[in-house]
A and B are shown apart, each in its own frame.
Chain A
Amino acid sequence: MDRAREARMGWALVAPALLWLTAFFVLPFAIMVGLSLSRFVGREVVPALSLDNYIRFFTEPSLFRGLVVSLEITAMVTVVSVVLAYPLAWIIAFQVPRNWQRLVLVLTILPFWTSYVVRSYAWLLVLGQGGVVNGALMGLGVIDAPLSLSATRFATVTGFVHFFVMLLTLTIYANLVQLSPNYARAAADLGAGRFATFRHVILPLTLPGVMTGAFLTFVLCMGDYITPQILGGGNELTLPQLIMMQLGRRGDFPMASAMAIILMAVVTLAYLACARFLRLERV
Chain B
Amino acid sequence: MPRFPSSLRLTALASTALVALGAAPAAADSLNALVWCDNTDPDLIRPFEEEHGVRVNLREYEGTAAGLAILDQSRPGDWDVMVIDAVDVHRVAERGLLAPLPADELPLGDFFPDLVMEDLNAIDGEFVAVTQKYGYNTVSFNRANVDAEAMEDLSSLFSGDHDGRIAIYDYYLPVLGMLALNAGIDTADLDLEALETLREPLMDLRARARQVSEVVAAQTALAVGEVDIVFGGGEWLTAVLAEENPDLDWTIPEQGAVLWAQSIAVLADSANPDLALEFVKYISSPEGQARLATSSCYWGMPANAAAGEILTDDQRAVLRWDEQEDFLTRVQRYPVPDADLDAAMQDLWTDMLQN
Task: Tell me, yes or no, whether A and B come into direct contact in the complex with CB atoms closer than 8 A.
Answer: yes
B-binding segment of A84-92, A96-104, A121-129, A203-211: A121-129
Chain B residue at minimum C-beta to C-beta distance from A249: B63
Query: What residues on A are CB-neighbors of B74 within 8 Å?
Result: none
A16 at the interface (CB under 8 A from B): yes
B-binding segment of A60-68, A175-183, A267-275: A60-68
A211→B164 CA distance, assembly (Å)? 40
B211 touches A251 (CB 8 A): no
Q: A12-B4, A42-B339, A247-B66 are in contact. Are A233 and B220 (CB under 8 A)?
A: no
Q: Which secondary structure characterizes the binding site on chain A?
A: helix
Shortest CB distance B40–A (Å)? 17
Query: What residues on B are CB-neighbors of A9 within 8 Å?
Result: 5
A45→B268 CA distance, assembly (Å)? 23
A125→B82 CA distance, assembly (Å)? 35
Query: What residues on A are CB-neighbors of B3 within 8 Å?
Result: 8
Q: How does the 8 Å CB contact mask read for A124-155 relative to B, with 1 for contact and 0 for none?
A: 11001111000000000000000010110000
B226 touches A251 (CB 8 A): no
A66 touches B354 (CB 8 A): yes
Chain A residue at minimum C-beta to C-beta distance from B70: A251
B8 at the interface (CB under 8 A from A): yes
A161 at the interface (CB under 8 A from B): no
A43→B340 CA distance, assembly (Å)? 9
A125→B216 CA distance, assembly (Å)? 11
B186 at the interface (CB under 8 A from A): no
Shortest CB distance B210–A (Å)? 6
A-binding segment of B47-55, B132-140, B345-353: B345-353
A230→B213 CA distance, assembly (Å)? 9
A114 at the interface (CB under 8 A from B): no
A236 touches B354 (CB 8 A): yes
Q: A16-B11, A42-B339, A234-B170 are in contact. Are A151 and B66 (CB under 8 A)?
A: no
A199 at the interface (CB under 8 A from B): no
Residue in B69, B212, B221, B354 whose CB lies within 8 Å of A65: B354
Residue in A12, A43, A63, A66 whose CB lies within 8 Å of B8: A12
Shortest CB distance B328–A (Å)? 28
Shortest CB distance A149–B (Å)? 9
Query: What residues on A are CB-neighbors of B212 within 8 Å?
Result: 233-235
Q: Which secondary structure characterizes the binding site on chain B?
A: helix
- B216-235 interface (Cβ within 8 A of A): 216-217, 220-221, 223-226
Residue in A43, A66, A130 whose CB lies within 8 Å of B224: A130
Query: What residues on A are CB-neighbors of B354 within 8 Å?
Result: 61-62, 65-66, 69, 236-237
Q: A62-B350, A245-B350, A251-B68 are in contact. Are A124 and B220 (CB under 8 A)?
A: yes
Q: A12-B4, A42-B339, A61-B354 are in contact. Are A251 and B66 (CB under 8 A)?
A: yes
- A44-69 interface (Cβ within 8 A of B): 60-63, 65-66, 69
Q: How does the 8 Å CB contact mask read for B184-214 relative to A, with 1 for contact and 0 for none?
A: 0000000000000000000000000011111
A237 touches B350 (CB 8 A): yes
Shortest CB distance A145–B (Å)? 12
A15 at the interface (CB under 8 A from B): yes
A128 touches B63 (CB 8 A): no
- B1-15 interface (Cβ within 8 A of A): 3-5, 7-8, 11-12, 15
A148 touches B353 (CB 8 A): no
A13 at the interface (CB under 8 A from B): yes
A233→B220 CA distance, assembly (Å)? 11
Q: A128-B220, A128-B226, A148-B226 are in contact. Are A248 and B72 (CB under 8 A)?
A: no
A222 at the interface (CB under 8 A from B): no
A185 at the interface (CB under 8 A from B): no
A35 at the interface (CB under 8 A from B): no
B65 at the interface (CB under 8 A from A): yes
B247 at the interface (CB under 8 A from A): no
A248 touches B62 (CB 8 A): yes
Shortest CB distance B2–A (Å)? 10
A13 touches B5 (CB 8 A): yes
Q: A65-B354, A151-B226, A242-B350 are in contact. Are A43 and B339 (CB under 8 A)?
A: yes
Query: What residues on A are CB-neighbors of B68 within 8 Å?
Result: 43, 251
Query: What residues on A are CB-neighbors of B69 within 8 Å?
Result: 247, 251, 253
Q: A62-B350, A66-B354, A230-B217 are in contact. Are A248 and B225 (CB under 8 A)?
A: no
- A1-36 interface (Cβ within 8 A of B): 8-9, 12-13, 15-16, 20, 23
A279 at the interface (CB under 8 A from B): no
Chain A residue at minimum C-beta to C-beta distance from B350: A62
Q: How does the 8 Å CB contact mask read for A181-225 relative to B, with 1 for contact and 0 for none?
A: 000000000000000000000000000000000000000000000
Give 8 new A-B contacts, CB below 8 A, not counting A62-B353, A148-B164. Answer: A12-B8, A43-B68, A69-B354, A151-B217, A151-B226, A234-B168, A234-B217, A249-B63
Q: List 24 A-B contacts (CB under 8 A).
A: A12-B5, A13-B5, A16-B8, A16-B11, A23-B15, A62-B355, A69-B354, A128-B226, A130-B223, A131-B224, A148-B226, A151-B211, A151-B226, A234-B212, A234-B217, A234-B353, A236-B353, A237-B353, A248-B63, A249-B65, A250-B65, A251-B65, A251-B68, A251-B69
Q: Which 3 A-B pairs have the closest CB atoms?
A: A251-B69, A234-B212, A130-B224
